[in-house]
């Protein structure tokens, strides 16, 4: 075996396993299997034109050398991104720990209690610092969170406002520039009119339904918005705050001023800048708006024994239920980063956060007073961490960059300086020296921080926050280390067993790909640093774009979207811009098959499109005749088709070329959902099947970890006609010549984790990528062959093959009293996370093994489901006290003196021999979802306070 070939480490099955697997499937070779799976007319005729694969050692050296081209200057740029100190125990035990970063979205709550508690801590931190009543589990970044706030306020307009089509939204000129750009993008398609201006001169017209202010402002000004909010309320205008989370430890909370929504980023709570991301945005609002709230909410409930148990609450807001009526297409979060930020609050506690906030403010005051002595005057009447001074920007910039320091320069006579947690007395003296040199004056030094506050007395925080025990008991390293480990033990992640989620591609996240994320010359760069300081990043990101162009067959890529749903939206907005450029604004009809991901219609609605749903055949394919009929009917206003390939049912539809030609012939473009790209890479591509744009889930096909539900990256790749419309950024110009405004806050989205996909592609090479796809198809069809005779397989291709995933039909088991959810819970007893439940068909399991699972693991999973099938056969509809209905079984159940079940403890906990070697214990019994929704609690308050009378 080649010990230096990365592909051999990534791909699970060994060469010696292949004959057994192929024989089980009933084919002679992988080539025959692929031939019987993919339509021949879409097969690539040549290998991918990629550089030869690097070994892991070569890549490690390469990425270190490339990182040296990044210049890590002292950053005082601000604008929502700040240097921060990542506590070492959090970096080592969470950020670099596969027990945390390889977990899946906590849909199966019983084996995700640790992660759910960590997110609950994050939500509690946000609720208490913002002064609001409810918070979600995080959003993608501050700009998109602000856009979600705007959409929520639009949705909760009064009846009269909706009747009179009140559509104006006031945006304070103090808003961050990147946030304004995202608001511009999101407002136009849904008919919201933005009005940017000074909040002090706002006329509170009845034409407005909402407003957003920045707290503190983009250049540091701290305003008391109490009177503004009160006047807005009198005129039925609801106000959102975009707030700096650290400042809220020192300032009066927005909730106390009457805010309707509070958003921001938690980046400065111990998450590296990473050239723009990933970072967890926060979103908090009033309880009365919870049904319109975007994203996920973690709620407190109970299990069947009445014990406290956590879960994802309010599932009815999910897009696959509301579809085009959803007010948001958000289907993910930034969970790993929210966990880090929440743990930062746990580690430091309220007093620690107050200390850090006080030190940052004192640094700003000290700097302002020192510069004042040099004749450089500070113009903010009140500030927290950012001062705005008047000086010759060009002269100061030259000296600052010579000393490896970055300020922000709003205009020729203004300089914005944002102080941060890492700022020391020596740093302040360096700033003084820079200005002194630029002004030709003699420098001086300060020896201690100022003690005076520049916060208005009326805005100094007096309300308590983070009083719960969890924020006051883990301040030593031993305590935080053990707390993190305690939570980790409650979660099942990829470091325990395979997670075979259909459509979610839970593949290996290789250590070699992950290591660069901890390197300071990659994770310490500000996204708005001068581009010449980010040469390593620009080289890597451009190379990744080129690699993705080759893989998809397209001409251009933007890495800006930082989730798959955001990629969908970006692709549709590019299509919209294309039609507008041709004076065809009437083209707004989007055709979507009924089998599509729920985010598809939600994204189309957000892009201002009219959705027409097309039929699916009994075999699970697109009904071509129905599609033809609707494409012709709407040919004069057809914008696009959204199609997933292979289909959501796990099949390569042979009519795909006919389908895409049909759309083009009627004036539309084709958007391909890249959720199933894991079955395409190296064998076919979106350009070959006739698509015009696709999004890619880098957190699926290209190895970025799911992180418990995020981070994600959802770039779009486009053909030549759409390249001009790729999105830009207001501070760092990126995108096409006719670029749409920003999709997310940072120019390159979550740039830091793009290193993972770059490493994956670079070390796999063309041959390795193709082999990965072939083995994904091999693994899926091997499992399919093993399941035949035990479970009905719902859809297959024309030769009876699955793509990279398959759907097991569990609906007939209702005759035995067993629901598909019972199977999902019973799998926990066997040490496995359930496959995708009831999507895309209710009452089914959608299974995708990925190429990185070895034969022994595949067999363990197959053995588990086959064993469960026998348990189903032994069940009856009248029997509600069986091993499936009582699953999962906890350690507390097994060790009780009073065993009241009609089967043995051994059958409950150890139904197969292999389980005893590595038993994973669910920490709670089955969670009561209905109770949790009736009694919605999304903070750390003790469950006793919310028990029903």
Q: Model confidence over 124-167: pLDDT tens digits?
A: 999 999 999 999 999 999 999 999 999 999 999 999 999 999 99
Q: What is the mean pLDDT of residues 254-279?
A: 98
For residue 938, the model assigns a pLDDT of 82
Whether 948 shows a pLDDT value over 60: the answer reads no
Higher per-residue confidence, 839 vs 881: 881
For residue range 522-569, what is the model confidence (pLDDT) as tens digits?
999 999 999 999 999 999 999 999 999 999 999 999 999 999 999 999
For residue range 708-728, what is the model confidence (pLDDT) as tens digits?
999 999 999 999 999 999 999
For residue range 304-348, what is the model confidence (pLDDT) as tens digits?
999 999 999 876 445 555 666 666 788 788 999 999 999 999 999
Residue 875: phi, psi to the nearest 5?
A: -95, 155
Range scoring the smallest mean pLDDT among 383-387, 619-623, 757-761, 849-853? 619-623
**Residue 384: C-alpha distances to residues 137, 173, 217, 454 (Å):** 27, 18, 10, 7
pLDDT > 90: percent of the chain: 93
Whether 68 shows a pLDDT value over 60: the answer reads yes
Kindly report whether the peptide bond that precedes residue 933 is cis, defined as omega within 30 degrees of 0: no
For residue 598, the model assigns a pLDDT of 73
Structure tokens that stand for 741 in this block: 């405004």
Q: Is 326 helix (H, G, I), strand (E, B) or coil?
A: coil
* Residue 318 CB neighbours (<10 A): 17
Beta-bridge mates of residue 695: 673, 716
For residue 618, the model assigns a pLDDT of 85
With beta carbons less than 8 A apart as the criterion, state whether 685 and 44 touch.
Answer: yes
**CA separation for the pair 350, 360 (Å, rounded):** 15
Whether 121 shows a pLDDT value over 60: the answer reads yes
For residue 904, the model assigns a pLDDT of 97
Whether 749 shows a pLDDT value over 50: the answer reads yes
Can you tell me which residue has the tokens 């199933």? 676
For residue 315, the model assigns a pLDDT of 60
Confidence of residue 931 (pLDDT cuts 50, 70, 90): confident
For residue 947, the model assigns a pLDDT of 43
Can you tell me which residue has the tokens 């849904």? 190
Higher per-residue confidence, 693 vs 597: 693
With beta carbons less than 8 A apart as the criterion, state whether 373 and 436 touch.
Answer: no
**Residue 131: C-alpha distances to residues 241, 245, 291 (Å):** 11, 11, 19
**CA separation for the pair 838, 836 (Å, rounded):** 7
For residue 322, the model assigns a pLDDT of 61
**CA separation for the pair 669, 520 (Å, rounded):** 43
Q: Give every CB contact of residue 599 below 8 A, 6+ residues apart in sequence.
A: 319, 329, 331, 564, 565, 568
CA angle, residues 489, 494, 496, in degrees to nearest 5: 50
Whether 292 shows a pLDDT value over 80: the answer reads yes
**CA separation for the pair 544, 558 (Å, rounded):** 10
**CA separation for the pair 208, 205 (Å, rounded):** 6
Higher per-residue confidence, 321 vs 608: 608
With beta carbons less than 8 A apart as the criterion, state whether 553 and 686 touch.
Answer: yes
Cβ burial, residue 636 (10 Å; 0-12/13-18/19+): exposed
With beta carbons less than 8 A apart as the criterion, state whether 407 and 417 touch.
Answer: yes
Structure tokens that stand for 3 in this block: 């010990």
DSSP for residue 496: T
Whether 787 shows a pLDDT value over 70: the answer reads yes
Structure tokens that stand for 577 in this block: 């811009």
With beta carbons less than 8 A apart as the criterion, state whether 293 and 156 touch.
Answer: no
The mean predicted confidence, pLDDT, of the chain is: 95
Beta-bridge mates of residue 168: 193, 208
CA–chain centroid gap for 866, Å, is 34
Structure tokens that stand for 901 in this block: 């079940």
For residue 624, the model assigns a pLDDT of 96
pLDDT > 70: percent of the chain: 98
For residue 144, the model assigns a pLDDT of 97
With beta carbons less than 8 A apart as the criterion, state whether 398 and 391 touch.
Answer: no
């Amino acid at each position: 075996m080649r010990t230096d070939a990365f592909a051999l480490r990534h791909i699970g099955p060994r060469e010696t396993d292949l004959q057994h697997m192929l024989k089980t499937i009933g084919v002679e070779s992988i080539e025959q299997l692929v031939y019987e799976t993919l339509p021949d007319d879409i097969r690539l005729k040549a290998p991918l034109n990629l550089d030869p694969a690097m070994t892991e050692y070569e890549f490690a050296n390469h990425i270190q050398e490339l990182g040296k081209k990044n210049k890590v200057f002292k950053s005082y740029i601000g604008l929502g991104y700040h240097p921060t100190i990542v506590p070492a125990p959090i970096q080592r035990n969470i950020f670099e720990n596969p027990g945390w970063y390889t977990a899946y979205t906590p849909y199966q709550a019983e084996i995700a209690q640790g992660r759910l508690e960590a997110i609950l801590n994050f939500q509690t931190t946000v609720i208490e610092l913002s002064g609001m009543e409810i918070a979600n589990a995080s959003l993608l970044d501050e700009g998109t969170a602000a856009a979600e706030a705007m959409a929520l306020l639009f949705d909760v307009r009064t009846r009269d406002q909706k009747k009179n089509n009140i559509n104006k939204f006031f945006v304070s000129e103090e808003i961050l520039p990147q946030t304004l750009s995202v608001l511009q993008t999101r407002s136009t398609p849904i008919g919201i009119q933005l009005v940017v201006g000074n909040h002090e001169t706002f006329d509170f017209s009845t034409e407005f339904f909402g407003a957003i202010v920045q707290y503190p402002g983009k250049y540091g000004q701290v305003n008391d918005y109490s009177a503004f909010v009160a006047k807005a309320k009198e005129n039925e205008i609801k106000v959102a705050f975009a707030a700096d989370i650290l400042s809220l430890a020192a300032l009066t909370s927005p909730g106390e001023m009457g805010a309707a929504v509070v958003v921001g980023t938690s980046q400065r709570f111990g998450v590296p800048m990473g050239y723009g991301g990933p970072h967890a945005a926060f979103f908090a609002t009033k309880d009365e708006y919870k049904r319109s709230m975007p994203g996920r909410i973690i709620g407190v409930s109970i299990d069947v024994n009445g014990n406290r148990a956590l879960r994802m609450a309010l599932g009815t807001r999910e897009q696959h239920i509301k579809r085009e009526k959803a007010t948001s297409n958000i289907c993910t979060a930034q969970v790993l980063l929210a966990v880090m930020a929440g743990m930062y609050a746990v580690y430091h506690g309220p007093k620690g956060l107050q200390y850090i906030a006080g030190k940052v403010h004192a640094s700003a005051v000290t700097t302002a007073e020192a510069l004042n002595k040099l004749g450089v005057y500070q113009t903010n009447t009140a500030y927290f961490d950012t001062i705005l001074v008047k000086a010759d920007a060009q002269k100061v910039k030259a000296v600052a960059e010579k000393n490896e320091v970055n300020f922000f320069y709003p205009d020729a006579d203004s300089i914005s300086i944002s102080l941060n947690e890492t700022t020391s007395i020596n740093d302040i003296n360096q700033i003084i020296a820079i200005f002194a040199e630029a002004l030709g004056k003699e420098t001086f030094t300060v020896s201690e921080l100022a003690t005076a506050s520049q916060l208005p007395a009326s805005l100094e925080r007096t309300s308590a926050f983070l009083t719960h025990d969890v924020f006051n008991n883990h301040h030593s390293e031993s305590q935080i280390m053990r707390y993190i480990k305690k939570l980790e033990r409650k979660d099942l992640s990829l470091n325990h067993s395979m997670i075979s989620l259909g459509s979610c591609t839970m593949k290996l996240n290789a250590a070699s790909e992950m290591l660069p994320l901890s390197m300071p010359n990659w994770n310490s760069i500000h996204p708005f640093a001068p581009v010449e300081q980010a040469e390593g990043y620009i080289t890597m990101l451009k190379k990744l774009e080129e690699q993705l162009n080759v893989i998809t067959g397209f001409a251009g890529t933007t890495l800006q979207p930082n989730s798959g749903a955001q990629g969908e939206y970006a692709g549709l907005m590019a299509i919209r811009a294309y039609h507008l450029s041709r004076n065809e604004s009437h083209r707004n009809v989007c055709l979507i098959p009924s089998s599509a991901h729920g985010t598809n219609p939600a994204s189309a609605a957000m892009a201002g499109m009219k959705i027409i749903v097309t039929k699916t055949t009994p075999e699970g394919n697109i009904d071509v005749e129905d599609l033809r009929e609707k494409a012709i009917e709407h040919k004069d206003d057809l914008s696009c088709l959204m199609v997933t390939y292979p289909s959501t049912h796990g099949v390569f539809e042979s009519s795909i070329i006919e389908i895409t030609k049909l759309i083009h012939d009627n004036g539309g473009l084709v958007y391909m959902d890249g959720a199933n790209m894991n079955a395409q890479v190296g064998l076919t591509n979106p350009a070959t099947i006739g698509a015009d744009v696709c999004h890619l889930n880098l957190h699926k096909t290209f190895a970025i970890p799911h992180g418990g539900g995020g981070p994600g990256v959802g770039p779009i790749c486009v053909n030549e006609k759409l390249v001009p419309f790729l999105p830009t950024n207001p501070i760092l110009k990126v995108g096409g010549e006719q670029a749409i405004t920003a999709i997310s806050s940072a120019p390159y989205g979550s740039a830091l984790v793009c290193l993972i996909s770059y490493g994956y592609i670079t070390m796999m090479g063309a041959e390795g990528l193709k082999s990965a796809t072939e083995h994904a198809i091999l693994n899926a069809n091997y499992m399919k062959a093993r399941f035949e005779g035990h479970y009905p397989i719902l859809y297959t291709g024309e030769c009876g093959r699955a793509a990279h995933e398959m759907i097991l039909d569990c609906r007939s088991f209702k005759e035995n009293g067993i629901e598909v959810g019972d199977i999902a819970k019973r799998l926990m007893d066997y040490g496995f996370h359930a496959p995708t439940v009831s999507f895309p068909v209710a009452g089914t399991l959608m299974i995708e093994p990925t190429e990185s699972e070895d034969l022994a693991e595949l067999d363990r999973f197959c053995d588990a489901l086959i064993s469960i099938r026998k348990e189903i056969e032994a069940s009856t509809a009248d029997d509600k006290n069986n091993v499936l209905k009582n699953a999962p079984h906890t350690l507390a159940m097994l060790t009780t003196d009073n065993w009241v079940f009609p089967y043995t403890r051994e059958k409950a906990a150890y139904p197969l021999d292999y389980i005893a070697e590595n038993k994973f214990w669910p920490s709670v019994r089955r969670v009561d979802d209905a109770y949790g929704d009736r009694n919605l609690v999304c903070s750390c308050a003790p469950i006793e306070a919310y028990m029903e009378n």
